[in-house]
Amino acid sequence: MAAKVRVKAKRWGSSLGFIIPNEVVKEQKIREGDELEIELQKVSNIEKLFGLAHGKRPAGLTTQKIKDELRAGWHD
């Protein structure tokens, strides 16, 4: 079963790396040394990534609710 995850690239020495969320590690039973096949696609529209522009969200829609919605999409 494949997992779809959105991550942010971070500097790791002279390279870039990313973190696989613990929930996905557990679900996929990933262990150190496992070989993974990763398909990359850059998200170029920040509104597409977060769904709403900062400061323009409807009343009651908290940052936590937005993060929960994004996490729910990781397992599609």
In angstroms, what CA-CA distances link 68 with 14, 33, 39, 56, 75?
A: 32, 30, 23, 18, 12
The pTM assigned to this predicted structure is 0.51
Percent of the chain scored above 70 by pLDDT?
75
- Mean per-residue pLDDT for 21-26? 92
The phi and psi torsions of 16 (rounded to 5 degrees) equal -115, 145
List pLDDT tens digits, range 25-60. 999 999 999 999 998 888 766 555 555 555 566 677
